Amino acid sequence: MSIIYELKAGTPVGISYLNALHERVLFKVGYIGCVSSEFMLFDLTRNKKSLHELKMLRPGLTLELKSIVSDATLTSINFQSELLMLTTVQVPILVVSFPKDINQKRLRREPRLKVELMVKLEMESSQTGHLAMVTDLSKSGVHCEYHPTEQEIADADKGALNSLIHEPVKIEFPPDEENPEAIVIRGNIKNIRGRDKLSVGIQFDTDDIENTGQIQMLYVLLVMREHGL
């Protein structure tokens, strides 16, 4: 059975093609599914290209597609397909031929990803919000830094920051070109230290199915970005 059948609906897929000027054009789509082994369907609502620009695509154009088929093993695939149809009647959908040859590769990765991501960090009990920088991330948690409030500085001077340990928090990763919707993940403060800049370790809540799905989505998107997919 083709590895394509391991692709999950909603998985981000990168597509590229050569335009009339022989320039490579890139855009993102979401996988919908495939019909038998004949063609594949993609949702164009997540792409940042204008529909007017995409309407210039013509059947028969060769497209190059890249994605990750398995969240667990992070196996990347890339293949070529022929554009069959582009419909924009209700939901814009791209239809391409089912690939004959597929290249696949298991992505090597460290347990934690080194990143620089600006997020909104909110303490759920007090609803205090901070603009924070996430510096590394794994499937179990993140490390971030932020500038504290005057009250938090006073607590640090009194050695009272430990009262925030186990505090429920909400981390909002803002939308970007690769993900048009914000990703919100819940967790608890595991450790906190510092004064003028607080360094915080947060453990994700992995008991909640929806939260786990958001964690998995974010992790896969970051790995794809790291590998240029």
Phi, psi of 221 (to 5 degrees): -60, -40
Helix (H) or strand (E) holding 44: none
Residue 216: predicted pLDDT: 81
Burial of 34 (0-12, 13-18, 19+ CB in 10 A): middle
Query: Is residue 174 within 8 Å of residue 191, measured between CB atoms?
Result: no
Name the token pair of 91.
Answer: 């939901």
How far is Cα 116 from Cα 63, in angstroms, rounded to an integer? Answer: 32
Q: How many CA atoms lie within 13 A of 213 on its CB side?
A: 6
Residue 143: predicted pLDDT: 95
How many other CB atoms are there within 10 angstroms of residue 10's CB atom? 11
Query: Is residue 229 within 8 Å of residue 67, measured between CB atoms?
Result: yes
Q: Which amino acid is at 191?
A: N
How far is Cα 107 from Cα 75, in angstroms, rounded to an integer? Answer: 6
How far is Cα 61 from Cα 69, in angstroms, rounded to an integer? Answer: 24
Sequential pLDDT tens for the chain (229 residues): 678 888 888 888 889 998 888 888 888 888 999 888 889 999 887 666 656 666 678 899 999 999 888 666 678 899 999 999 888 777 788 999 999 899 988 775 666 788 899 999 998 877 778 899 999 998 889 999 998 888 777 876 777 777 888 999 999 998 876 677 789 999 999 998 888 888 999 999 988 888 888 888 888 788 777 766 6
How far is Cα 115 from Cα 143, in angstroms, rounded to an integer? Answer: 10
Residue 5: predicted pLDDT: 82
Nearest alpha-carbon partner for 202 in 124, 126, 150: 124
Query: Is residue 223 within 8 Å of residue 113, measured between CB atoms?
Result: yes
Residue 106: predicted pLDDT: 79
